[in-house]
């Protein structure tokens, strides 16, 4: 059986893209998905379809970041090759959740509904051209939250790594209602004012946020062996991991979207430090 083509993650290389012309790889009713993939969408129903495209600007949920939402509109509909490029057109697919396929490695699944029942025919032709458009307001919010999470992680590491036994950075959530970073080790609440001060400092300095691609040797050269990701995360034939660099603060392997400078995070508040079984969670929020 031929290998399934991976979805090209256009946002990995240019997160400024809010629209993208691409082509349909497959369109399936939600009920036709493999059970493992149905489980990725907790609120999926028989009213939904799932579309795979050759490229995507939609960030799939993962790495602590929510998925983008938006629309897909056919560039050449089936009714006499009529053009339908307006997001207000009835011939459109409304994307409400995006996930990485758990069966076909590297494909991205866009879950949503057609604006009208007859619209599905315009998306069922293999290689049909469509224009993707993401919700720009949500993308900006998620990018601000994600960068703010990296800023917080850098602030905590620089302040307490030598003060807290067994300290390490674990995972993070960048969802608007539950943004937090987790660390190994017990971080006392007395650190909250200092962490807030450091976060404010990093944000006020408008540090550049840059995207790069590193191999394992790049991590070693920078003295960051601890951050080398598992090679199983690489696509076949790839040797480099995507990294996000906050110039002057920290480097993180990361597949998410970010703002260009730290000041664009906006006002960021360290809300609380909680501890449980040797794990500390530092919650935060950005001003909407």
Which tens digit of pLDDT belongs to each residue from 114-127? 998 888 888 988 78
Looking at per-residue pLDDT, the higher value among 90 and 42 belongs to 42
pLDDT (0 to 100) of residue 238? 84
pLDDT (0 to 100) of residue 3? 59
pLDDT (0 to 100) of residue 158? 96
Say what the pTM is.
0.92
- Please state, in angstroms and rounded to a whole number, the distance separating the CA atoms of residues 67 and 142: 9
pLDDT (0 to 100) of residue 81? 43
Mean pLDDT, the chain, whole residue set? 92
pLDDT (0 to 100) of residue 62? 94
| Range in 134-143, 216-225, 234-243, 279-288 with the lowest mean pLDDT | 234-243
The gap from C-alpha 222 to its chain's centroid, in whole angstroms, comes to 25
pLDDT 10s digits, 170-180: 999 999 999 99
pLDDT (0 to 100) of residue 78? 39
- Please state, in angstroms and rounded to a whole number, the distance separating the CA atoms of residues 80 and 120: 16
pLDDT (0 to 100) of residue 23? 96
- One DSSP character per residue, 40-93 reads T-TT--TT-EEEEESEE-PPPSBTTBPPP-EEEEESS-TTTT-----TTSSS-E
pLDDT 10s digits, 56-109: 999 999 999 999 999 999 996 434 444 444 444 588 999 999 999 999 989 999
Is residue 131 a contact partner of residue 85, using CB atoms and an 8 Å limit?
A: yes
pLDDT (0 to 100) of residue 18? 97
Give the mean model confidence (pLDDT) for residues 258-273. Answer: 98
List of residues 6+ apart from 3 with CB closer than 8 A: none
Q: What is the band of 266 on the pLDDT scale with cuts at 50, 70, 90?
A: very high
pLDDT (0 to 100) of residue 89? 55
Sheet holding 268-276, edge to edge: 168-173, 180-184, 279-286, 268-276
Give the mean model confidence (pLDDT) for residues 134-149. Answer: 98
- One DSSP character per residue, 79-134 reads TTT-----TTSSS-EEEEEEEE-SSSTT-EEEEEEESSGGGGGGG-STT-EEEEEE
Residue 169 in this model has a pLDDT that exceeds 70: yes
Residue 214 in this model has a pLDDT that exceeds 60: yes
């Amino acid at each position: 059986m031929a290998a399934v083509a991976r979805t090209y993650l256009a946002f990995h290389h240019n997160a400024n893209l809010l629209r993208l012309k691409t082509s349909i790889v497959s369109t399936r009713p939600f009920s036709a998905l493999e059970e493992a993939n149905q489980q990725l969408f907790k609120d999926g129903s028989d009213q939904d379809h799932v579309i795979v495209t050759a490229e995507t600007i939609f960030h799939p949920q993962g790495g602590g970041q929510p998925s983008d939402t938006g629309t897909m509109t056919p560039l050449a509909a089936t009714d006499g090759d009529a053009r339908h490029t307006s997001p207000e057109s009835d011939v459109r697919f409304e994307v409400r959740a995006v996930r990485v396929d758990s069966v076909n490695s590297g494909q991205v699944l866009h879950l949503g509904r057609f604006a009208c029942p007859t619209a599905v025919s315009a998306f069922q032709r293999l290689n049909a051209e469509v224009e993707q458009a993401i919700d720009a307001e949500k993308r900006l919010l998620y990018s601000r939250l994600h960068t703010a999470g990296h800023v917080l992680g850098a602030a905590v590491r620089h302040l307490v790594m030598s003060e807290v036994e067994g300290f390490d950075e674990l995972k993070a959530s960048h969802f608007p209602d539950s943004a937090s970073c987790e660390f190994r080790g017990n971080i006392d609440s007395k650190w909250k004012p200092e962490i807030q001060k450091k976060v404010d400092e990093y944000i006020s300095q408008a540090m550049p946020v840059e995207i790069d691609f590193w191999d394992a040797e790049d991590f070693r050269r920078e003295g960051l062996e601890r951050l080398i990701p598992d090679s199983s995360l690489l696509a076949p034939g790839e040797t480099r991991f995507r990294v996000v660099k906050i110039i002057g603060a920290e480097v993180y392997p990361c597949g998410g979207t970010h703002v260009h400078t730290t000041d664009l995070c906006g006002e960021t508040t360290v809300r609380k430090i909680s501890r449980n079984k040797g794990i500390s969670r530092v919650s935060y929020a950005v001003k909407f």
